[in-house]
Structure formats: structure tokens, C-alpha cells
Structure 1
Amino acid sequence: MNTIERALGILLLLSGGQRRATELAERFGVSVRTIYRDVDRLIALGIPVEAERGAEGGYRLARGYLQPPVALTRGETAALLVALALVRGLRATPLLEDLGTAQAKLLASLPRSAREVIEQGERIVAIERPPVDVFHPEPEPVAVADMQAAVDAFMQGLLASRRVRIRHENPYRGRVSDYDLEPCGLLFDRDRWYLYGWEVDLQAERFLRADRVRHAEVSGMAFRPRLDLSVQSQIGRAWLSRAMRRWEREGVASEISVSREQADRLSRDWYYRHAVFEPEGDGRLRLRIPNTDPEVILPLVRWLGPGADLVSPPDLRARLAQELAQMARDAGSAGDI
């Protein structure tokens, strides 16, 4: 048996579990020193052979290096490929390069007829982009390429249990902040990714929009995953409720008096359902929104229609009164024609 054959034989034996050097030497009829050299060759080729000292020690492959084959039916493979085609339609896809190699392996397992159909996944599967939200205009996000890099780095850190250093931009406050996060999960909502992690410096949860990340880098600092944190805790936009309470404490809010029917209508909105509704009496409620932007508040009041009263801030109330008066004059002029 030559050196290459023996090294391959050692690799096959290690794939089945840990082996002592003396055991390998007896198996191949060589000296222990020769086994040492064979293992060094395997390591030089990039094969992660680990050594453990002691009476119970020996050589073994790094956990997860060799995995058993997975047998999938034709339907199961097609289902996975359709799912891959769907996530490729997102504005950013976690681990996009790894997704490409996985797809190539899955395609190789299909018959030619099925492979030709699934290879053109974008022709048979499509994703419709969410429509523009006219009541919640937002600043332009960071470039999509940066969002892809942020999602990839965050996912890589999560899989390797490594911290991720992130530089994040807040366009509303004109502020750029640096965070050192232990990744906990990813959430996709309204055509964008959110990064959920534990901020090391402040010892608190952090929820960041990936499309506002300027730079993301996996660090060499390992961490033990926090089993008490799950991205499922953010479902239902729990993060938005907390953020709106914080925004209320930090700035001025707009207040609108609305009827019960108008409040019920707003409670179905993805954003305004997390605002504060306080009883006023006579079946009316006071809506408090942590925003005084006229491009947001005035269209909302006009959309609500009669029965909605913009209470504050006073300057927006005066501006709305002027606009409504002008609309009434225009309507009266149109009626005279």
C-alpha cells in the first residue's frame, strides 16, 4: 500500500470515529511515526484532523467535516428548489453564494427533464414587491449590496458563534453607531431583513435594519449562544411597539382625536396599531403618534376624514385648517361651474 492509499484509508477510518495512532499503525502494518507523518499530510491538504492526548485520546475529524448523504425524493428536491427560487427573489438572500452551490448539488440529483424545468426557477416562481406605503415615507436605504453583505456576515457569525461588528446608520437622527453583537437571528418583514442580537457593551437586545448597515464584519470573539433569546419573540412587530414607546419619550408626538370606528380602522394598520389609544369619553379615543412630520400626519388625518380632529401640535393643526379651507373653497368653485 502506497502513501496515498494509506492516507485515504486513514481518512475513511477517522470518518467513522476516533482512532488511536497505535491502532492505525497496527491496521496498516506501519510504525506509529509513519502514521504521524500520514496525518501531517492530511492536515497539509486542509483536512481538519484533531488530536487528543491521554489514555483515551487519539485522532478524529473535526465535527461536521463529513456528513452522511441525504436521500431526497424527486418531489422533495423540487420543493427545495422552488423555495430557493423564492428566496433568490428577495432584495438580499442570506449566504447567497452557498445557496448557489447547494442548488447546483440538488439539480445534479434530478433527472434531465425535471432539471431543465427547475433550472429556470425564475420563469415559474415570482415574488411581488410590497407596494409603496404612502402614509409612512422613509429615507432611501443603504445600497442593496451593503444589505447583502450585512445579512451574510450576520448569518456567518450566527453559524460560527462569533460576534459581528456592525456600523449602523439612523437616517432620522443623522447618526452612525457601532455595535458589537452576538447574533441571535434574522427576521424578514416588508421586503427587508432585520438583525436580532445581543449588544455586548450595553448588555441588551438590539434589533437593526439590515438595509441601514454600512459595514459588517465577523470578529474572532466567540460566544456561547443565549438560549433565552429567540427571534420568534419579535413576531407581531413587538420591536415596533417598544420603539414607538421609546420615540415618545425622546421627542414630540402628534395627537389626533378619533371615533371608535376610525380607531378600529387604524388598529388594522401594520404601523398605527402599535400607537397609543387613550379613551377620551363619549366613545372617542385620543391617538398619540411619535411623529410630527406634516408629510405623514396631514395625509393621515385627511384619509381618516370627518370625525378626526388633529389636536396637536398647534402648527400642524393650523396648517391643516388652512388646507381644508382651501379645499372647501375649491369644491365650492367647482360646484358653481
Structure 2
Amino acid sequence: MAEPAARLLRLLALLQARRFWTATELAERLEITDRTVRRDVDRLRGLGYPVDASVGVAGGYQLGSGAVLPPLLLEDDEALAVTLGLRTAAVGSVTGVEEATLRALAKLEQVLPKRVRRKVQDLQGAVTSLGSAGAAVDAQVLSALAAAQRAHEVVLFAYTDGQGSDTQRRAEPHGLVHATTRWYLVAWDLDRADWRTFRVDRINGSVQAQHSFVPRAIPHGSPAAYVAHSVTTDPYPVQARVVVYARKQDVARRVYPGDAVLEPLGERCLMRVGARQPEVLAMHLAMLGIDFEVLEPPELIAAVSELGKRLTRAASASKRRARS
């Protein structure tokens, strides 16, 4: 490879590695003059790479966005990550991207260096996917919701609720959250004047973007936290706060993701969890195998007390039988 061509590739790699470079920084990295930097930047532009320039004391260069996606230079670990991501997407819960995913994967694997291809093959041979157990969502619906959220535009869509009723919804989108096997839209429902979580797989047809809106403060601080509370406690009649006598990361290993919200409390953690019956929740808490203290509600405290008495009676009876 001729030196100017190799230098262009090095320049492109630098522009992709960081958002902004001064001409002096690029010249020092490439061991060339500022004038040569300007000349090489013009060559990149001629090849279709949109390089933006700014003048003045704080002036420099950054890689902009263009009408056509130019080739990207990936490090080995980046190429491995992209390949694994494409393999995961090919069997994921988002529909409408399978063919494009496989095309992109074929292009990437064709040019992978042997050392990276070997790592991909090792992982592919060791890891087996069962596919997605969740309901499939339309990639175009996800894309339209994401675009409307980014532009702060109200969306109109047809929705089927949990009871099977079909409605037209107008909402201000504030976030998309992937939780366990489902996608959720966190939005302010304009017709109901309240926050809602919409399952994206229940959105039917296209999403229409309308006029703009001013974003609101999301309950619990973020879309992810709001969804966590919405699917773990809010839908249930019994909503509990429990102090578990272990660190958050240790408790998280024993709780299925999406079943509870955990907050660190030093060497302990606060668990927010919901259930349909206090007796069932008491049993699940006991099965954690960790000491805990119920803060609320009173009916759960009573259920834990009754469960403890029942287990004590069972243990005493079992010991008497063992001695006889």
C-alpha cells in the first residue's frame, strides 16, 4: 500500500476514534504538516467521508454524518462485538430486520481477519441460542418511536390493551426500554393525562408523528426505572418494601430480572416487589435463603409471621417423629 493511502486510513481511524481533533494534534499523530492534514482531509471528502472543519483558536476537524454510510475501520474487539451483536439480532425479538441482519453479517464475516474469525467461530461453537421467548415487535415501529422521541413529537398509534380492547392512543414518547423479553414505550398519554407503559408488540400498524411537545420529568427518574416499577409492583394489589440482609448484587443473583426492584443500602438492600397474595410473596421471600425484614404492608408482615409459625410447627413435628 502506498504511503499516502496508508496515511489516509490512519487519518480516518483517528477521526472515528474521537469526536474532535485539532489540526496540530492530527499532524503530530501522523507526523505530517498542517497543510498535509488539510490536503488529506480534502481527499477523504472526495471519497465520500463527511469531514467537518471549524476555524479559529479552537478550530479543528470532526467526522460528520453524510447521506451515504462510508466504510468504517474497526479494531479487532469492535469487529467481534459487532459480529456477536448481529448474530444476536438475527434470532432476536425484533421482526423486519432478519434479512438485513444476515446480509450485514455475511459482508462482515467475509472480510474478518483470521484471528477475529477464529474467535467468532469459537464463541459460535460454544454458545447456543434458544431464540426469543417474547412477543416479536416490528423494527419499523421501533424506529418510528425512537425518531419521534428524539424529535420530541407526539405519536398516534393503534393499541391493543391487556383485555384485548383496540384503541387509538395519542402519546408523548419519552423512552424505549427492553426489559427481559419485551419492549416497552414510556410515554405521557394525552387522552388520559397520565404516564403509561405501552408494550410495543401490542402497537398495530404504523406510528404517525404529529406536532412537537416539551419533555416532562419522568417518574422514578428514568424510563428504565419507571418500567421496572410498572412491571414489578404497580400491577399488583400487594405492594411491598422489604429490607434484605445482603448486598444488592448478591440478592440480584437470586431474583429473576423483572421480578423486583433492588436499591442498595450499604451492606443490605431495599427490595420493592409486588404480588397478588401476601401468602405467596411471603413464601418467595423465605425461599431467598437470606434474612429479611418486611417494612410494609401489614398483611405481608402477618403472612410472614404465620408462615414462620407453620414452618416451626412442621419442624417440631418432624423432630418428634424422628426421635420416636
| TM-score (normalizing by structure 1) | 0.48
Q: Which has the higher contact order (CA 8 A, sep 6+)?
A: 1
Structure number with bigger Rg? 1
| TM-score (normalizing by structure 2) | 0.50
